[in-house]
Amino acid sequence: MIQRPRGTRDFGPEEMEKRRHLENIMRREAALFGFREVSTPIFEHTELFTLKSGPNVVEEIYAFQDKGGREISLRPELTAPVMRFFVNELTNYPRPLKMFYFGQCFRYERPQSGRFREFYQFGAELIGNPGPESDAEVIALAASIMRRVGLKEYNIRIGHIGVLRGMLAQAGIDSTKAPPILQKLDKKEYEEARARMTEAGMSPEDIEKVIDVTRTSGPIEVLDKISGDARDHLEAVFRILSEYGFTNVEVDLGVVRGLDYYTGMVFEMDAPVLGAEKQICGGGSYSLTELFGGEKTFSTGFGIGFDRTLLALEREGYSAPQHHVDVYVIPVNEKTKGEAFRIAAKLRQAGRITEVDLMGRSISKNFKYAAAINARQAVIVGEKELAQGSVAVRDMSTGEQKLVPIEEILSSIAC
C-alpha cells in the first residue's frame, strides 16, 4: 500500500461534511461583515516569505526549486500572498478593502498531535486606516465567527506592540536591536530576553519594568498605569467591541509579536478546552505593502487555525448535521429499472438527494443498503403497481408504506 505523505491527512465523507459545514459558517459570517473572498496560489516565490519573516523561515517551510530553477515554496501562511496580490492588482478598490480567504498552508516540521504539515487557515485582512474602528471590526469578525460556529468558551486577549517598543526606545534600544528582544518576550523566554537587554546596555531597573509590562493582563483598567497613544487606542478598541456586543475581552500586553511589520494592536483568541495548545486565532495591525514594493498602507488582519477550532468544538461536544439521503429508489426487477431511473432523475432535478439501485440487488438487500446510507424514504417500483401508474413509498424509520401515483411522487418526498 502507498501511504499518504507524513503529516498530511485524508478526509472521508463524514469528516468533510463536518469541515465544510464549519467552513461555510465562517465564510457566511465574513460575508455578513462585508468581507469578500480572494484566492492566491498554493506556492509562491520563496522570496515573498523571507521578505516577510526573515531568511530563517526557509528552514521551516516546503521550499524547493522548480524545473526552471526558480526558488518556490508552498505557502506557510496567507497574509503575505494576499498582500502581494493587493500590491500587484487591488490597490484601486475603494477603501476599506475587506478580504477573507480559506485554504491549505504548509510547514515542514516534526508532525505532532494536532499539528500537521498540511493545515487549514481561515483569515481576513482589512485595508483601510490605522483607526481603532478598523481594529475593532476585525476582532469583532473573529469573535462573531467563534460565536456563530457555536464555540461555547473562548477569550480575546488584546495587546499593543507600541507599549514595549516605546519603552525599549526610551531605554535607548534602537529599532534594529528591538526585534530579537521582542521575539524572546513574545515566547515568554524571560531569561534570554533579560540577557539580550543587558547586552544592549539596558539598566536592571528598565529591564524589570519591561518584563513587568509583558505580564500586564486583565480588564481595561490595568492600562491605567500606562499612558500614551497605545492606551487611548486600546480603550477605543475595547469600547467599540463592547458596542458590538463582545465583553469577553482582556488586555494582555504579553501578546507581543516579534516581527517588524506589526504596527500597533495585536490580539489572540484562546479556547480553554484545548489546554496548553489553546490558541485558535492570532492577528493584529500591520504594514507589509512597502516590503512588497507598494505604498505603505495600514491593515489589520487575523488567521484562524481551522483545525484547532474544529478540535475545540469537538471537545465541547459539537456535532455536525448527519448525512442523509432523501430517497432510495428500488426497482423490483429488470423490467421496472427504466421507470426507476426516470423517477430518480425527476427527484434529483427537483432537489431531492436521491440514490437508485445500481447493483441489481434483491429487495431485502436493498433495504439494508438504504439503512446503511441513512435513506429517509424508499420508493419501490413494482411491476403490478407500475401497471396502475403507481409506486410504493416506504418511510424507512417507521416501515410504513403507501401507494403513490407516479405524477404525485414529488409531493410525497420531503427534501
List binders of its own copies among 128-157 (CB under 8 A): 128-129, 131, 133-134, 136-137, 140, 144
d(CA 81, CA 262): 17
Instruction: Confirm or reject binding of residue 391 to its own copies (CB under 8 A).
Output: no
Q: Which of 211, 259, 292, 363 binds its own copies (CB under 8 A)?
A: 292
Q: Which of 55, 228, 360, 405 binds its own copies (CB under 8 A)?
A: 360
Q: Which of 68, 69, 275, 399 binds its own copies (CB under 8 A)?
A: 68
Q: Can you point out the beta strands (E) in 236-348?
A: 249-252, 262-270, 279-286, 298-305, 325-331
Q: Which of 342, 363, 410, 412 binds its own copies (CB under 8 A)?
A: 342
d(CA 112, CA 389): 61
Q: Residues of 244-253 as b/e, b for ≥16 C-beta within 10 angstroms?
A: eebeebebbb
Q: Which of 25, 85, 171, 278 binds its own copies (CB under 8 A)?
A: 85
Terminal-residue alpha carbon distance, the chain: 40
Residue 88 CB, shortest distance to its own copies, in Å, is 6
Q: Are 289 and 87 in contact (CB under 8 A)?
A: yes
Nearer to its own copies, 44 or 260 (CB): 44
Residues 369-388, interacting with its own copies (CB under 8 A): 369, 372-373
Nearer to its own copies, 291 or 392 (CB): 291
Q: Which of 275, 317, 359, 384 binds its own copies (CB under 8 A)?
A: 359
Residue 399 CB, shortest distance to its own copies, in Å, is 20
Phi-psi region of 101 (alpha: psi -120 to 50; beta: other; left: phi over 0): beta
Q: Which of 224, 319, 358, 384 binds its own copies (CB under 8 A)?
A: 358
Instruction: Confirm or reject binding of residue 409 to its own copies (CB under 8 A).
Output: no
Alpha carbon 311 to its chain's center: 12
> Site mask, its own copies, residues 233-272, x = CB under 8 A?
------xx--xxx---------------------------
For residue 76, which of 46, 111, 113, 98 has the smallest C-alpha distance? Answer: 46
Nearer to its own copies, 148 or 402 (CB): 148
* Pure H helices in 337-406: 337-349, 363-372, 383-387
Residue 101 CB, shortest distance to its own copies, in Å, is 9
- CA dihedral defined by 97, 102, 103, 106, rounded to 10 degrees? 80
Q: Largest Cα–Cα distance in the chain?
A: 98
Quote the cell numbers at residue 141.
Answer: 469578525
**For 222, what's the count of Cα atoms within 13 Å in the CB-facing half-sphere?**
18
Instruction: Confirm or reject binding of residue 188 to its own copies (CB under 8 A).
Output: no
Nearer to its own copies, 13 or 317 (CB): 13
Q: Which of 17, 23, 192, 235 binds its own copies (CB under 8 A)?
A: 17
